[in-house]
């Protein structure tokens, strides 16, 4: 898709920033909890086994840096970020 300028348009979230979409492969999660420490508004852990729970698959722009960091340091490469 292109905008009026002819340049490709970038998907935006309701806050007007570039959209982010998060997917998890929770089967690989080793319950280290790093993601929860870094981005507690986006990630949580199940009480019973500590496996990651995704609270917000399309977080607002102010969460993006923390989500990128969480994905980068996750020891099991569970978190995939699309922007
Ligand atoms: S940092 Fe990775 S392995 Fe640790 S709880 Fe989060 S998703 Fe699971």
Write down all domains in the chain, each with its CATH number in brackets: 21-82 (3.30.70.20)
pLDDT at 1 over 60: no
Regarding the beta carbon of 74 and ligand 1, being less than 6 Å apart is answered yes
Ligand 1 center from residue 47 Cα (angstroms): 14
Q: What is the DSSP letter of 13?
A: -
Tell me the CA distances in angstroms from 74 to 16, 38, 43, 55, 67, one per residue in order: 28, 10, 12, 17, 10
Q: What is the DSSP letter of 10?
A: P
| pLDDT tens digits, one per residue of 9-62 | 555 545 556 899 999 999 999 999 999 999 999 999 999 999 999 999 999 999
Q: What is the reported pLDDT for 18?
A: 80
Residue 48's CB is within 10 A of a number of other CB atoms, namely 6
pLDDT band at 6 (very low <50, low <70, confident <90, very high): low
């Amino acid at each position: 898709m292109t905008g009026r300028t002819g340049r490709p348009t970038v998907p935006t979230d309701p806050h007007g920033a570039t959209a982010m979409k998060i997917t998890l492969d929770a089967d690989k999660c080793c319950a280290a909890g790093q993601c929860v420490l870094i981005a507690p508004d986006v990630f949580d852990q199940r009480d019973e086994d500590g496996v990651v729970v995704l609270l917000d698959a399309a977080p607002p722009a102010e969460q993006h840096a923390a989500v990128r960091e969480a994905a980068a340091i996750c020891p099991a490469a569970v978190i995939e970020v699309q922007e």
